[in-house]
C-alpha cells in the first residue's frame, strides 16, 4: 500500500518523466501531484508532456492535471524534484519552507552546507545534516540532493577502495550518453558517428561533488574529502549509460590486484539490511571478463540501479585503473533520488 502521496516537480521534463516511470508500481510512494511551468499548468499530464519514455505513460498519471510548482497547489507528503536548475533554487526552498520535504536531482542545493548530497549506499549517515536545516521552523520540510550522473557511479565504484585503502588522486575520462543532456538535448547532426569532446559544467561537478559525498560528518558538518579529481567529459552516441575510464592513486598500497578485486567483491553495502525496494542487491558489481560492462548491455542491471565495474587492473603510473558504468538517468538521477527517499523513510525523516 502506498503510504505517501508524492509530487513531482518538473514533471514534464526528462527527469520528471523518469521519476513517474520508476514510481509507477512503487510500494510506498504514489505520485498524486505534478508540478511544471505555467505553460503546462492546467493541462492534463497527457496533453502537457511530450512523453519520451519507451513504456506507456501510466494511465492514472495521464489524467492528472498539472499545476505550477507551488506548495499551496500540491497536497503531498513530499516531492521529488527534476527541475531545471534555472528555477529550482526558489521553488525547492518554498516547498521546504512549507513543510514539504524535497528530494532533488537538481544541482542548486548540492553544495549547501546543511543539505545532504547523498548516494544512499555511500554516505547514508549524511542524512543527519537535515537536522541542522532551518528552511522549515516546524522541522518537517527539508531538502536532500543527489549528485551529478557521473559522480554517482564514480563514488559507488570508489567507495570500497576508499574504505579499504583511501584514495589520493583520480584521473578519469567519462564517456556520456545522450540521455544525460535531457530532451531535446544533443542534436543528432552533432553526435551521430561522432564524439563531442566537451560538456559544459560537467568536469567541475565531477571535481567537487565526490569530495562532499566521500566526506566525513564531524560535529554536524561535512568535512570534505581531499582528493584531487581531474575529469575529461565527452559525449558519445550512446542512449543510456555513462562509461568512466578511471585511474586512481591509493593512500595505502594494495598487496596485489587480486586483493583489490576481492575488496570490491566483498564490500558490504551499509544499507543492505534495510531492504529498500529500489536498492540493488549488489550496488557495485565487478566484472571479471574484460569485455564488460558495456553501456548497451549492462546499464540496466538490477533495474538500472547497479554500477558495473570492469577491467580492474594495476596501473603503471598510479595504483589502479578500472572502468565504471552507471545508468545515468536511473542510478545517476531519478533512481538515486528515489532510493534516497526510501532511506529517509526508513530512517524516519518523513512525517506522513
Q: Interface with its own copies by CB under 8 A: which range of 94-102, 124-132, 176-184, 253-261?
A: 176-184
Closest separation in Å from C-beta 158 to its own copies: 15
Neighbours of 283 (CB within 10 A): 25
- For residue 288, the SS3 value is coil
Q: What does the per-residue mask of binding to its own copies show for 245-284, with x meaning CB under 8 A?
A: x-x-------------------------------------
Instruction: Give the largest Cα separation in the chain, rounded.
Output: 62
208: its cell numbers: 567537487
Asked whether position 62 contacts its own copies by CB under 8 A, the answer is no
Least Cβ distance, residue 85 to its own copies (angstroms): 20
Of the candidate residues 2, 57, 234, 263, the single one contacting its own copies (CB under 8 A)? 234
Question: What is the end-to-end Cα distance of the chain in Å, rounded?
Answer: 14
| Stretch (H or E) spanning 232 | strand 229-235
Question: From the list 18, 311, 327, 331, which residue makes contact with its own copies (rule: CB under 8 A)?
Answer: 311
CB 158 within 8 A of CB 248: yes
Measured distance CA(328)–CA(128) in Å, rounded:
26
Stretch that binds its own copies, among 71-79, 122-130, 145-153, 168-176 (CB under 8 A): 168-176
201: left (phi over 0), alpha (psi -120 to 50) or beta: left
Separation CA 156–CA 19 (nearest Å): 21
- Looking at 292, 331, 333, 339, which residue binds its own copies (CB under 8 A)? 292
* Closest CB 56 distance from its own copies, rounded Å: 8
314: Cα within 13 Å, side-chain hemisphere: 8
How many alpha carbons fall within 13 Å on the CB side of residue 18? Answer: 25
CA distance 287 to 290: 7
Q: Which is nearer to its own copies, 195 or 259 (CB)?
A: 195
Site stretch for its own copies (CB under 8 A), options 65-73, 94-102, 286-294, 334-342: 286-294
How many Å apart are CA 31 and CA 9, to the nearest integer?
A: 11
Site string for its own copies, 65-104 (x = CB under 8 A): ----------------------------------------
CB-CB contact of 115 with 129 (8 Å): yes
Residue placing its CB nearer to its own copies in the complex, 126 or 261: 261
Residue 92 dihedral angles phi and psi, to the nearest 5°:
-60, -40
Strands 229-235 and 216-218: unpaired
Question: How many residues sit in the footprint of its own copies (CB under 8 A)?
Answer: 56
**Mask for 320-339, x = binds its own copies (CB under 8 A):** -x-x----------------
Find the shortest distance in angstroms from Cβ 317 to its own copies. Answer: 5
Distance in Å, CB of 292 to its own copies, minimum: 7
Specify the stretch interacting with its own copies by CB under 8 A; choose among 27-35, 36-44, 97-105, 170-178: 170-178
Q: How far is CA 212 from the centre of its chain?
A: 14
Query: Which residues are catalytically annotated?
Result: 149, 242
Residues interacting with its own copies, by CB under 8 A?
52, 54, 169-171, 173, 175, 178-179, 183-198, 207, 228-230, 232, 234, 236-239, 243, 245, 247, 290-298, 300, 310-311, 315-318, 321, 323
Amino acid at each position: 500500500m502506498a503510504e505517501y502521496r508524492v509530487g513531482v516537480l518538473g514533471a514534464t521534463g526528462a527527469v520528471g518523466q523518469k521519476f513517474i516511470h520508476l514510481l509507477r508500481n512503487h510500494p510506498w510512494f504514489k505520485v498524486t501531484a505534478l508540478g511544471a511551468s505555467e505553460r503546462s499548468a492546467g493541462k492534463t499530464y497527457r496533453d502537457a508532456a511530450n512523453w519520451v519514455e519507451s513504456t506507456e505513460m501510466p494511465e492514472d498519471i495521464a489524467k492528472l492535471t498539472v499545476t505550477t510548482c507551488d506548495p499551496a497547489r500540491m497536497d503531498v507528503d513530499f516531492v521529488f524534484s527534476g527541475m531545471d536548475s534555472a528555477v529550482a533554487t526558489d521553488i525547492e526552498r518554498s516547498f521546504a519552507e512549507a513543510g514539504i520535504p524535497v528530494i532533488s536531482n537538481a544541482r542548486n542545493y548540492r553544495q549547501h552546507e546543511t543539505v545532504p548530497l547523498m548516494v544512499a549506499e555511500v554516505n547514508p549517515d549524511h542524512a543527519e545534516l537535515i537536522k541542522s536545516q532551518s528552511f522549515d521552523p516546524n522541522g518537517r520540510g527539508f531538502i536532500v540532493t543527489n549528485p551529478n550522473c557521473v559522480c554517482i557511479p564514480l563514488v559507488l565504484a570508489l567507495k570500497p577502495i576508499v574504505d579499504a585503502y583511501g584514495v589520493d588522486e583520480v584521473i578519469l575520462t567519462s564517456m556520456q550518453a545522450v540521455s544525460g543532456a535531457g530532451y531535446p538535448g544533443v542534436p543528432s547532426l552533432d553526435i551521430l558517428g561522432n564524439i563531442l569532446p566537451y560538456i559544459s559544467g560537467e568536469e567541475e561537478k565531477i571535481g567537487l561533488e565526490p569530495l562532499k559525498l566521500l566526506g566525513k560528518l564531524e560535529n554536524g558538518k561535512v568535512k570534505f574529502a581531499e582528493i584531487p579529481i581531474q575529469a575529461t567529459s565527452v559525449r558519445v552516441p550512446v542512449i543510456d549509460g555513462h562509461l568512466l575510464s578511471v585511474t586512481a592513486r591509493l593512500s595505502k598500497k594494495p598487496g596485489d590486484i587480486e586483493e583489490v578485486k576481492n575488496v570490491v567483491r566483498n564490500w558490504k553495502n551499509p544499507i543492505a539490511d534495510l531492504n529498500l525496494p529500489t536498492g540493488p542487491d549488489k550496488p557495485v558489481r565487478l566484472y571479471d571478463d574484460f569485455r564488460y560492462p558495456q553501456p548497451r548491455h549492462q546499464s540496466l542491471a538490477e533495474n538500472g540501479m547497479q554500477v558495473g565495474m570492469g577491467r580492474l587492473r594495476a596501473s603503471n603510473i598510479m595504483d589502479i585503473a578500472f572502468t565504471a558504468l552507471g545508468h545515468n538517468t536511473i542510478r545517476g538521477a531519478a533512481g538515486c533520488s528515489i532510493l534516497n527517499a526510501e532511506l529517509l523513510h526508513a530512517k524516519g525523516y518523513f512525517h506522513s
